[in-house]
Chain A
Amino acid sequence: MKGIMKGLGFTFKNMTRKKITYAYPDVPLIMPDRFRGIQHFDPEKCIVCNACARVCPTDCITLTGKANPDPEKKGKVIDTYDINFEICILCDLCTEVCPTEAIVMTNNFELATYSRDELFKNLNWLNDNNQHIRQENNSAMPKGGAKKDAE
Chain B
Amino acid sequence: MENLLNEQLSWWNFGVFSFWAVVLLVIVLGYVTYAIYFERKILGWMQLRHGPTRTGPLGLLQTVADVTKLLIKEDTIPRKAEQTLFKLAPIIMFIPSFVVLATIPYTSSWFFADLNVGMLYYAALSGISTIGVVLGGWASNNKYALLGGMRSAAQMISYEVPHVISVTGVIMVSGSLNMRTIVAAQEGAFWHWNFLPQIVGFIVFIIAAVSELNRTPFDLPEAESELVAGYHVEYSGFRFAFYMLGEYVYTFAIACLTTVLFLGGWHAPLPFLDFIPGIIWYLLKFTLVVFFLIWLRGTLPRVRIDQLMSLGWKVLLPLSLVNVIITAVVIELTK
Interface set, chain A 1-50, CB cutoff 8 A to B: 4, 7-8, 10-12, 14-15, 17-21
B314 proximal to A (CB < 8 A): no
B49 CB within 8 Å of chain A = yes
The residue from A4, A11, A17, A18 contacting B298, defined by CB atoms under 8 A apart: A11
B48 CB contact (under 8 Å) in A4, A7, A12, A19: A19
B300-A19 in contact (CB<8A): no
Judging by beta carbons under 8 Å apart, are B295 and A11 in contact? yes
Task: Please determine whether B295 and A12 come into contact, CB atoms closer than 8 angstroms.
Answer: yes
B residues in contact with A7, CB < 8 Å: 299-300
Contact: B42 with A15, CB < 8 Å?
yes
Cα A12 to Cα B42 with chains together (Å): 10
Alpha-carbon gap, A17 to B48, bound state (A): 7
Please report the total number of A residues contacting B with Cβ < 8 Å.
13
Closest A residue, CB atoms, query B217 = A4
Residues of B close to A10: CB separation below 8 A: 299
B46 at the interface (CB under 8 A from A): yes
Which residues from A are CB-within-8-Å of B50?
A: 19, 21
Which residues between 39 and 61 of chain B lie within 8 Å of chain A, taking CB atoms? 42, 45-50
Whether B300 lies near A14 (C-beta < 8 A) is: no
In this complex, the interface size class of chain B, counting residues with CB under 8 Å from chain A, is: 10 to 19
Say yes or no: B299 contacts A8, CB within 8 Å.
yes
Structural contact, A21 and B49, CB atoms closer than 8 A: yes
Nearest residue (CB) in A for B41 is A15
Q: Which residues of A contact B299 (CB under 8 A)?
A: 4, 7-8, 10-11
Interface of B is mostly: helix
- Per-residue 0/1 for B262-300: is the Cβ within 8 Å of any A Cβ (1 yes, 0 no)? 000000000000000000000000000000000110111
Q: How far is the CB of B77 from chain A (nearest CB, A)?
A: 37
Task: Give chain A residues whose Cβ lies under 8 Å from the Cβ of B45.
Answer: 14-15, 19
Q: Is the CB of A19 within 8 A of B49?
A: yes
CB <8 Å contact, B48 and A14? yes
Min CB–CB distance B109 → chain A (angstroms): 36
Q: What is the chain B residue whose CB lies nearest that of A8?
A: B299
A20: nearest chain-B partner, CB-CB:
B48
A19–B46 Cα distance when bound, in Å, is: 10
Contacting pair A11 B48 (CB below 8 A): no
* Residue in chain B with minimal CB distance to A16: B45
Q: Which residues of B contact A8 (CB under 8 A)?
A: 295-296, 299
Complex Cα spacing A12 to B299, Å: 9
The interface residues of chain B lying within 8 Å CB-to-CB of A21 are 48-50
Contacts of A12 in B (CB 8 A): 46, 295
- Which of A4, A17, A20 touches B300 (beta carbons < 8 Å)? A4
| Interface contact B295-A14, CB-CB below 8 Å | no
Q: In whole angstroms, how far apart are the Cα atoms of A20 and B46 in the complex?
A: 12
A8 to B295, CA, bound (A): 7
Contact (Cβ within 8 A) B49 A20: yes
With CB as the reference atom, state the residue of chain B lying closest to A12: B295
User: With the chains together, A95 CA to B48 CA distance in Å?
Assistant: 40
The reply to whether A14 and B47 contact each other, CB–CB distance below 8 Å, is: yes
Smallest CB gap from A9: residue in B: B299
Please, how many angstroms separate the alpha-carbon atoms of A147 and B27 in the complex?
Answer: 63
**Shortest Cβ distance from A17 into B: residue:** B48
Q: How far is the CA of A149 from the CA of B20 in the complex (A)?
A: 68
Q: Choose from A4, A15, A18 the contact partner of B46 (Cβ within 8 Å).
A: A15
Give the distance in Å from the alpha carbon of A21 to the alpha carbon of B52 in the complex: 12
Residues of the A chain whose Cβ atoms lie less than 8 Å from the Cβ of B300 = 4, 7
- Could you tell me which B residues sit within 8 Å of A by CB distance? 42, 45-50, 295-296, 298-300
Show 25 A/B contacts (Cβ-Cβ < 8 Å), sorted by A. Answer: A4-B299, A4-B300, A7-B299, A7-B300, A8-B295, A8-B296, A8-B299, A10-B299, A11-B295, A11-B299, A12-B295, A14-B45, A14-B47, A15-B42, A15-B45, A15-B46, A17-B48, A18-B48, A19-B45, A19-B48, A19-B49, A19-B50, A21-B48, A21-B49, A21-B50
New A-B contacts (12) at CB < 8 Å, excluding given A7-B299, A17-B48? A4-B300, A8-B299, A10-B299, A11-B299, A12-B295, A14-B48, A15-B45, A18-B48, A19-B49, A19-B50, A21-B48, A21-B50
* Residue positions of A touching B, CB distance < 8 A: 4, 7-8, 10-12, 14-15, 17-21
